[in-house]
A and B are shown apart, each in its own frame.
Chain A
Amino acid sequence: MAETISIALKVNGSELAAAVEPRRSLVDFLRHDLGLVGTHVGCEHGVCGACTVMLDGRTVRSCLLFAAQADGADVTTIEGIGTDEALHPLQQAFQKHHALQCGFCTPGMILAALELLRDNPDPTEEEIRVGLGGNLCMCTGYVNIVRAVRAAVSNGNSR
């Protein structure tokens, strides 16, 4: 079988090591090798944002990165944000404002919104719309997503 590359990285706070095929994408590595299926694959060409994860504090398209490129990195996926029992305040705002329907874009949207609010803690509606402009949602028309992000801002607990 194909040669492999050894990588070591941190995922949701846990250190781990793995041997990956050179062509293994980061999203396939997260989903199929680590079982972190909360990160979704929507287009595999970097447009839809469903596969958005944090890599060293910046959002990336995990479909456009190889797992090997994450060697030494600190990766955060949706599984590292909140749990069913203890939702992150932004996740609470999404639920309260019906900001999701099928939920397939939601993990990527949450990560993109967290980055937006970290970099701009009090965005205008326009800034939210532009800031989330790299993530497609096919269900909501974005109205309630924008509403939820604004609500998280006004509650002052967006972090």
Chain B
Amino acid sequence: MSANQKWVGQALERVEDPRLLTRGGHFIDDLTLPGAAHAAYLRSPHARARIRHIDFSRALQHPGVYAVITGEDVAQSTRPQRGRVPLANSPRVYAVAYEQVRYVGEPVVGIAAIDRATAEDAAELVHVEYEPLPAVVDPEQALEPDAPLVFEEIGSNILWHNTFPYGEVEAAFAHADLVVDERVTIHRYCSTPLETFGVMVQYEPAPHSFTIWGHTQQPAQDLHVVAAAFGVSPGQIRLIVPPMGGSFGNKVRPLFIIAAALLARKAGRPVKWIEDRRENLLALGHAADGIMEMSAAVKADGTVLAIKFRNIENEGAGIDFAGRHNLLMLSNIANCYRLQAISYEGYSVVTNRCPVVANRGIGKPFMCFAVERMMDAVARALNQDRAEIRFRNFIQPHEFPYDTPSGQTYDSGDYPEMLRKALALADYDSLRREQAQGRKEGRLLGIGIATAVEPGGSNLAYGMLISGPSQLLSGQGEAARVRLETDGTATVFTGGLDSGQGHATALAQIVADEIGLNVRQVRVATTFDSASHPYVMTSGVYSNKFHGHDTVAAIGAARKVREKLLRRAAAQLEANADDLELGDGRISVRGAPDKGVTIAQVASRAYWSLADEQPDGEPGLEALHYYSNPLAKRPDDKKRVRVQLGFASAAHVAVVEVDPETFEIKVLRYLVIHDCGRQINPGIVEGQVHGAVAHGIAAALFEEFVYDEDGQLLTTSFMDYLKPTAADLPAIEVDRLETPSPLTLLGTKGVGEGGAVVAPAAVASAVEDALAPLGIRIAALPIVPSRLWEVAAAGLKRYENARK
């Protein structure tokens, strides 16, 4: 435990806010360089086509145009992308389409000009001759033998396929009293950060180096991807990541950085590119759509013994996330339940849709939706209450730490108490009475329940299940440096990034406690700069990793600084370091409070007075700490791997009303009991829960990227791709349970993704419950009134995605 927990645990106001409330000024589009050009891209109108010829001569002659690049330039000047987790049989993917286009919106020609409008004018002067080819949009059709091939060089549309038998699955089915089958699908959606993707690159020819200001969530990995593309040392690239206006897993497209870098090199001046919203919806990336088939072995009392899963993940026309939604689902495949055995078969399939990216929860919202739909189906099959079936199958509080069949170690939790608390908060029994009364009056009221684990911190060794044991990238960790300044304040540098989670405030709270400072005396350098910020290859902001990695790295560095500080103070005070006390910016001798020095006095001498004897053998008062999570091991020979490393949990209750004529769905109440262990800043945590739940409700009821059968995206503005407003969402009610994790220094667990993982399942459960008088089962997302009306009008009993 920390020496002195004065600040950790307080719902402090955020240090980030005054600037954001009054002027901003640090987002990528707020930055510029003298002479900077602006980029625009001509994009593919076809889902699949051969590029026969590109004539950009008129564009190049257009006044104000500095440079034009095509796929030919990119293929000559850069190496193809291999993917973050390299594939054995990898297609060649470049930053700009080379020879073929593979999705609508793929960049075909890049133009740098004096301003954005001029670059867009010039793009209209480019003539591209395409030979349109048949496209494949549906992932099941992509698996058929005569399907068009998205990447002809790999001979099929399957990027990755594997099976994972965990435990005695067939024995469980042999002992089952009942087998319940389900097929559910999830659609394409995306959290669409309000700030779109941006990058600015300055190229220096003499040392052949690039300075990049740009968006990423994994700065070290993306820096290396760019270095590999250009065949330069990582040391020749300086990557600066300013605070981002949201990211949610989406800003992970190093190809866009590579294209801007190539334009900057060709233009001989800095180039800036800020994605517009249409480009963002077309091409930044979507959450993978998927098709899950399940079969559960169930005892007559409701005990679920085992579940078999078969999942098809639609990667679109990208390789960077191949297999990753699939494998991350192994983290929550057992969810909160004591399953004896599980089998999982996963496919990663390419189609002519936009490439997928990580979106809040990556894969886990679909797995949670699937398992929770199955639990509801089991309840229905046995005529049990939905809450009851969950109580019967929960892992019990005394069983932690609990190892699941896929190899996850659940650190702590109390799932029965969590659900009891949620039902009490919702007043479940009176809701059921209100529902029964409402049904007599023709009202369709529904109460949905979902209980779930919310995994945090991914162990990147899971990629070895895709690329084999020789993969370099593995584990999870973070790096941090803490410097005491000469005035006695502290500055913290980490490999983490700022995209709105209040990490600067949380880290200040942690470091202030470790060094005995006021929280206002600790600042965090939130603009990541590879020239000043330490990093490891897992650095960044993703996978709910902050709680047990960034925090631990910062504590490690702070403790080293504290030790140096005490040794220096001991020398100055001519006392023993063990006899010193630290607090409120001052070090004093225990029992003799008058005998002391301020931290500023000690820190000043550490930097100014180099002629002094140096207690550490060196001047300065700064420490670096690299942390690697010891739980993050390689996969074992049974394909078990701790895909994720900490397990928060939540119980959600959704109350909805469906209009019996229009099938409009209104969320009347939404309640959450969540447990992320100890909270560093409960104000920030609650906001994360609200925001994530809103994403989940929106994914379930509002948002959908709709493709037609030719692969045209029909939802390319916020008029068509519906984001919920304040008027569309309920006042989300949140309370907490707190079972501290025994596996992190502070007892913390991840919190940012959780609500988005659980809410789609709770909403689907509620709508299905509302429709019980009509007997309609919800097997697909999103749940759209017009389609629901069609299902009801046709007398159908399943709401599912129409097969193309």
A146 touches B731 (CB 8 A): yes
Given A37-B30, A42-B194, CB of A95 within 8 Å of CB of B13: yes
Bound-complex Cα distance A136 to B248 (A): 16
A144 neighbours in B (Cβ, 8 Å): 686-687, 690
B400 CB-CB contact with A under 8 Å: no
B434 CB-CB contact with A under 8 Å: no
A23 touches B117 (CB 8 A): yes
Bound-complex Cα distance A43 to B13 (A): 29
Given A136-B725, A141-B690, CB of A87 within 8 Å of CB of B246: no
- Provide the main secondary structure of the chain B interface: loop
Q: Which residue on B lies nearest to A25, using beta carbons?
A: B117
A101 CB-CB contact with B under 8 Å: yes
A91 touches B277 (CB 8 A): no
Given A45-B277, A128-B726, CB of A102 within 8 Å of CB of B245: yes
Bound-complex Cα distance A102 to B686 (A): 15
A103 CB-CB contact with B under 8 Å: yes
B22 touches A87 (CB 8 A): yes
Bound-complex Cα distance A77 to B686 (A): 30
The interface-forming segment of A3-11, A52-60, A78-86 is A78-86
B19 CB-CB contact with A under 8 Å: yes
Bound-complex Cα distance A103 to B19 (A): 9
Interface string of A67-90 (1 = CB under 8 A from B): 000000000001101111001000
CB distance from B759 to the nearest CB of A (A): 10
B785 CB-CB contact with A under 8 Å: no
Bound-complex Cα distance A138 to B726 (A): 11
Q: Which residue on A lies nearest to B721, using beta carbons?
A: A47
Interface string of A128-151 (1 = CB under 8 A from B): 111011111111111111100000
- Provide the main secondary structure of the chain A interface: loop
CB distance from B400 to the nearest CB of A (A): 30
B21 touches A106 (CB 8 A): yes
Bound-complex Cα distance A143 to B688 (A): 11
A100 neighbours in B (Cβ, 8 Å): 17, 20-21
CB distance from B458 to the nearest CB of A (A): 22
Given A105-B194, A138-B191, CB of A43 within 8 Å of CB of B277: yes
CB distance from B214 to the nearest CB of A (A): 17
Bound-complex Cα distance A128 to B731 (A): 12
A117 neighbours in B (Cβ, 8 Å): none
CB distance from A21 to the nearest CB of B (A): 8
The interface-forming segment of B97-105, B342-350, B370-378, B498-506 is B498-506
- Selected from B14, B22, B117, B502, the residue in CB contact (under 8 A) with A84 is B22
How many A-B Cβ pairs are below 8 Å?
Answer: 182
A102 touches B719 (CB 8 A): no
A23 neighbours in B (Cβ, 8 Å): 117
Q: Count of B residues near A, CB < 8 Å?
A: 58
A132 touches B25 (CB 8 A): no
Bound-complex Cα distance A107 to B20 (A): 8
Bound-complex Cα distance A50 to B8 (A): 33
B194 touches A137 (CB 8 A): yes
B194 touches A40 (CB 8 A): yes
B195 neighbours in A (Cβ, 8 Å): 40, 42, 102, 104
Given A84-B22, A94-B17, CB of A101 within 8 Å of CB of B500: yes
B276 CB-CB contact with A under 8 Å: yes
- Selected from A103, A141, A146, the residue in CB contact (under 8 A) with B245 is A103
B500 touches A139 (CB 8 A): yes
CB distance from B335 to the nearest CB of A (A): 23
B729 touches A142 (CB 8 A): yes
Given A94-B17, A144-B690, CB of A37 within 8 Å of CB of B24: yes
B717 neighbours in A (Cβ, 8 Å): 43, 45, 47
B145 neighbours in A (Cβ, 8 Å): none
Bound-complex Cα distance A94 to B21 (A): 8
Bound-complex Cα distance A106 to B243 (A): 15
A122 CB-CB contact with B under 8 Å: no
B194 touches A38 (CB 8 A): no
B96 CB-CB contact with A under 8 Å: no
A118 neighbours in B (Cβ, 8 Å): none
A15 CB-CB contact with B under 8 Å: no
**CB neighbors of B among A1-35 (8 A):** 1, 21, 23, 31
Residue from the set B24, B194, B195, B274 with the largest chain A CB neighbour count within 10 Å: B194
A41 CB-CB contact with B under 8 Å: yes
Bound-complex Cα distance A94 to B17 (A): 9
Residue from the set B195, B686, B725 with the largest chain A CB neighbour count within 10 Å: B725
A96 CB-CB contact with B under 8 Å: yes
Bound-complex Cα distance A134 to B718 (A): 12
Bound-complex Cα distance A133 to B19 (A): 24
A42 touches B277 (CB 8 A): yes
A159 CB-CB contact with B under 8 Å: no
B262 CB-CB contact with A under 8 Å: no
B243 neighbours in A (Cβ, 8 Å): 102
B194 touches A50 (CB 8 A): yes
B684 CB-CB contact with A under 8 Å: yes
Bound-complex Cα distance A102 to B684 (A): 12
B727 touches A130 (CB 8 A): yes
Given A47-B717, A84-B18, A136-B718, CB of A102 within 8 Å of CB of B25: no
Residue from the set B694, B726, B728 with the largest chain A CB neighbour count within 10 Å: B726
B201 CB-CB contact with A under 8 Å: no
**CB neighbors of A among B682-725 (8 A):** 683-684, 686-688, 690-695, 717-719, 723, 725
Q: Which residue on B lies nearest to A63, using beta carbons?
A: B277
B193 CB-CB contact with A under 8 Å: yes
CB distance from A79 to the nearest CB of B (A): 6
B194 touches A136 (CB 8 A): yes
**CB neighbors of A among B245-304 (8 A):** 245-246, 248, 274, 276-277
Interface string of B648-689 (1 = CB under 8 A from A): 000000000000000000000000000000000001101110
Bound-complex Cα distance A13 to B269 (A): 37
A133 touches B726 (CB 8 A): yes
A31 neighbours in B (Cβ, 8 Å): 29-30
Bound-complex Cα distance A82 to B63 (A): 42
A115 CB-CB contact with B under 8 Å: no
Bound-complex Cα distance A105 to B196 (A): 12
- Selected from A81, A82, A104, A136, the residue in CB contact (under 8 A) with B723 is A136
Q: Which residue on B lies nearest to A39, using beta carbons?
A: B24
Bound-complex Cα distance A37 to B686 (A): 29
Residue from the set B13, B20, B691 with the largest chain A CB neighbour count within 10 Å: B20
A103 touches B17 (CB 8 A): yes
B732 CB-CB contact with A under 8 Å: yes
Q: Which residue on B lies nearest to A24, using beta carbons?
A: B117
- Selected from B21, B30, B686, B690, the residue in CB contact (under 8 A) with A110 is B21
A110 neighbours in B (Cβ, 8 Å): 21
Given A40-B27, A43-B717, A45-B717, CB of A102 within 8 Å of CB of B246: yes
Bound-complex Cα distance A100 to B725 (A): 15
B193 touches A102 (CB 8 A): yes
A145 neighbours in B (Cβ, 8 Å): 726
A146 touches B726 (CB 8 A): yes
Given A45-B277, A45-B718, CB of A103 within 8 Å of CB of B16: yes
B694 touches A141 (CB 8 A): yes
B476 CB-CB contact with A under 8 Å: no
B23 CB-CB contact with A under 8 Å: yes
CB distance from B259 to the nearest CB of A (A): 21
A47 neighbours in B (Cβ, 8 Å): 717-719, 723
A141 touches B117 (CB 8 A): no
Q: Which residue on A lies nearest to B686, using beta carbons?
A: A98
B112 CB-CB contact with A under 8 Å: no
Nearest first, the 8 A-B pairs at minimum CB distance are A103-B20, A102-B500, A104-B245, A141-B694, A47-B718, A101-B500, A141-B690, A142-B726
Q: Please, could you name 22 A-B residue pairs with CB atoms under 8 Å apart, sorted by A?
A: A31-B29, A37-B29, A40-B27, A48-B718, A79-B22, A79-B23, A95-B17, A101-B500, A102-B244, A102-B246, A102-B500, A103-B19, A104-B194, A104-B245, A132-B725, A132-B727, A135-B725, A138-B192, A138-B246, A141-B695, A144-B686, A145-B726
Q: Contacts A41-B274, A138-B723 known; list 10 others, CB within 8 Å.
A: A38-B24, A40-B194, A87-B22, A104-B245, A133-B728, A138-B691, A141-B694, A141-B695, A141-B732, A142-B726
